[in-house]
Structure 1
Amino acid sequence: MECGFFNSKGEDRLYNAEHFTSYLSSMICNGVQDTVGECFAPSVSEDDGLLLTIGSGKAWINGHYAQTTTSEKLDLSAYVDESLGRCVAVGVYCDTSESVRDCGFEVLAGTCSGSPRPPKFSNTESRTYLTICTVRLRPGAASILSGDVTDCRNDEALCGYCKCILGKCGVTVLQEQMAALESRMDALEKKMDALDVKVLDSGTCGENAAYTLYTNGLLRISGSGATDDQKETSVWAKNGTADSITKIIVDDGITKIGDHFFNGLPNVTSALIAQTVSEIGTYAFADCSKLSGISLPPVLTKLNSRTFSGTGIAALSVPVSVSAIGLQAFYGTAIENLVYAGTKAQWNAVEKQTNTTTPSLTDSWDVTGTDPDTFLKKVICSDGTYVRNTSGKWSTE
């Protein structure tokens, strides 16, 4: 049996670094610490050619830590093939072997191919990796586009975030979430009992998801996993109850809101979305014309095309978990200034889908309307602001 830690008498209790890392690893999970620097955010610049920038940050790996106080540039030119594409993976490693005993960044090259796939790091007994990002290198490329970079930090299987220490990122947080959910449910049920609220309609809306519509206008989605995709309009618009819905609550446990799921609910004024929702489908809230604001979940991975089209939303805060923005994601809204919770480097790493940068053409991520052509004006990051000029280019304010 191993034990520790005790005072030494005559050197009968001796401890080394691995004893302490074993102790720390029981309290601090592996991942990028989301409170330090730029959290190792990957980014590219038009002026940097084939240089990939990894922002400052700190990561914990099996009780060891790797930290940089300044950004680092990795030269990927050696991995470019003149005739075929290639993907590379960029990770931070911890090597405990006696000959190394160090942490650092590493680039893993994939196989050249007409349809290249990102390679995956393989952990060994002494070497453990966290994958920061993957990069697609086009044949004969002289530069890297932002769309070539896939941020992997939010993928728990490849990297993940160490959002807190002292064991709080596991069971304690889950308990706190459950307690908060139970408290919210109890308060809602008491209020409904006092108002003599009855169930108007109920049914299933996913493999493990269900809906309940109450006589006070509340539509509640509960259960777990994904809700069903709808075709063109919501199930409530089809069954004639759409006009009676004024409030939406999506309970924790739901992970996806399907395409068109709440489409066509003209009297909805508020929507409370669970913290567990990582995907909201296309047109999911379309034509909810009285919906003027919404808080996006902190684990949301993508803003899909026209999710909020035809709503009254004029302001939106985008969490750092979002890694991609679809074509016309803000179309049909009154949003002018987008607030992004991360840094400029993290914003640059977000994949923004667009087919043109010409303002007269509207097949772009930042268009908000076509009569006349209107676009987002500003993106406000935690460390600065980007503005869109008349030629359709985004630049630092």
Structure 2
Amino acid sequence: MAFYSGFFNSKGLDRTYTAEDFTSYLSSIICNGILDTYGQNFKLTPANSGLGVVLGTGKAWINGHYFINDSRYVIDLTSYQDESLPRYVGIAIYLDTTESVRSVTLRLFPGTPAENPSLPSIPQDEDHVRLLMYAVRMNPGASRITESDWFDYREDSNVCGYCKCILGKCKVTELMSQMAQLVAEVQENNDTIADLTNKVEQLEADVEDIGDIVSVGQCGENIFYALYSNGKLLLKGTGDMYDYDSPLSPTGNDSPFFNNQDIKRVIVSDGITDIGVYAFRYCDELETASLPGTLTKISDFAFYPHPDDMATPTITHGLTEVTIPSSVTEIGYCAFAYNRLTTLTVPGTVTTIGQRVFAACANLTTVRYEAPVINEFMFVNCNHLENVTLARTVTEIKSHWINYCRSLTEITYEGSLADWAAVTKGSNWDAHEGSISTTNLTRINCLDGYMQYNTETGEWTEVHE
């Protein structure tokens, strides 16, 4: 027969398939090798004593067949030690499809003892295929085996390698990581578009609002402003804005925009690098702020409106939307707290960030966070927050960052379970500390599985997929 097809439902046993049919199909889409999303990828470590090694958990695919080790396995190599000459012992996953065997097993292949020993020869033909993971050197007279005694071939696609995607170009976790990177690049492009849009808006403001200025002034050494009757506030110039005092300060050094309810929209021109301390304090009717690609710092309380009662279901003052440019490296304490924001992205360029930056933004539902550090009380009392994505670039999560975010049940993390384990976490990072939890977070979704929270034991457990 020259042509084959499948698979179809059987009617009256008119369609039958064997295990070989399925393995043939699987081998066409899954490359031979170790599956890097399962367990410890067969990591080898020395045994506690004697001439032994310990093989970690792992899963491998070989010609459409799978092989799994679900617990640490001790391999005793004592019998392979020669009295006078060294030799290598190969540790391999071995497929034997002959009718009398039909299995995938862990096999040891001893080489010939010699002054300069060679790697063992492992037979391969149409019925026998091997994945050579390690070659362990057995030295005469040795009492222990250390990591320096073996060669690791797991990365070598000529003899072992890792499972690759259907196109055969990358490991599974690398593919997912690249996808996350593409998403980040799209976001960066969106930031560029937002920056260009901001420049267009500045030009529109110049054209549309000339002749309708209600106030002008200076708010930086080289920065001047014009407020138009339609509520647009245009800042032009270069460098940093002035920093201003708290309204409670006896010096009375208030921002010219303090408590101004006529400001509806702020357009900060290209060239300005810093939004000053208390710059737009109590500008309750301010809805949008267009920020330039030259901006590097948003200071303490920069966009802080009159606080609403934390118990209220929604916030009624402050910004409804803002795009933080990827040029920003520092955001200060409470810079956007109590605003009406619904979605936001914190770019990875932000290396310094204060506490409570987005505290009590009760309308906030969706967050993408790329900066390396999430500071304390970052989203405290954001009680409508339900969609949180943390980029793999997040390396530290400090205490109490999601306290009283009761709508939050799960978080998406764009890294592996091992990456998540490496993230530094402060006390009560998950808002479950003590007898009363202040959030409903029970799951952290990772690329190769998820973390599951047990409400009875108060512990997080890895679940591999």
TM-score range, shorter chain: 0.3 to 0.5
Greater Rg over alpha carbons, structure? 2
Question: When the two structures are superposed, what TM-score results if normalisation uses the length of structure 2?
Answer: 0.38
What TM-score, normalized to structure 1? 0.44
Larger relative CO (CA 8 A, sep 6+): 1 or 2?
1
